[in-house]
């Protein structure tokens, strides 16, 4: 589309072009993705804050999201894949999967701290040990 716009700029006066259909929709919504991701992060943070009744616990869950995004971006870059709609859907799915795993680990650690009186580090390590196999199985099933 950029090449088309460049070529159309070289045409004589009085000749123009206009986008229709999917191209028009793509141009119309092309710059909205970062704003939608930001709003999504805010909504997820607020939902997690309501779930845990805390403003600090959701940060531990939200810190996993950039790790999933960076991993997906690096994998796509190394394979030479384009940033198309399929990649963006996969990116959202990866964000959801990594956030779900983090939520479960935080939930297990919080239960261990509340019910068994374990310390933060001890409860976190125990929660990670308990959730490692289910996380690996879910991730492998997702990849396949």
**pLDDT cut 90: percent of the chain above it:** 31
62 within 8 A of 98, measured Cβ to Cβ: no
Range from 23-32, 38-47, 52-61, 90-99 carrying the lowest mean pLDDT: 23-32
8 within 8 A of 17, measured Cβ to Cβ: yes
pLDDT in tens, 13-48: 877 777 778 777 777 776 777 888 789 889 988 998
pLDDT in tens, 103-123: 899 989 999 999 999 999 999
Alpha carbons 87 and 97: distance in angstroms, whole number: 15
54 pLDDT band, cuts 50/70/90, is confident
Q: What is the pTM of this model?
A: 0.69
Domain ranges of the chain: 1-30, 35-143
CATH superfamily of 35-143: Multidrug efflux transporter AcrB transmembrane domain (1.20.1640.10)
């Amino acid at each position: 589309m950029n090449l088309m716009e460049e070529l159309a700029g070289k045409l004589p006066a009085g000749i123009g072009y206009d986008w229709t259909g999917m191209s028009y929709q793509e141009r119309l919504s092309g710059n909205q993705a970062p704003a939608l991701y930001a709003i999504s992060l805010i909504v997820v943070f607020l939902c997690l804050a309501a779930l845990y009744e805390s403003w600090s616990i959701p940060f531990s869950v939200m810190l996993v999201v950039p790790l999933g995004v960076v991993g997906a971006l690096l994998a796509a870059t190394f394979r030479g894949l384009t940033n198309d709609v399929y990649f963006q859907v996969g990116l959202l799915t990866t964000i959801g999967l990594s956030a779900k795993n983090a939520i479960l680990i935080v939930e297990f650690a919080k239960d261990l701290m509340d019910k068994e009186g374990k310390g933060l580090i001890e409860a976190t390590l125990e929660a990670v040990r308990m959730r490692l196999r289910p996380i690996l199985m879910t991730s492998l099933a997702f990849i396949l």
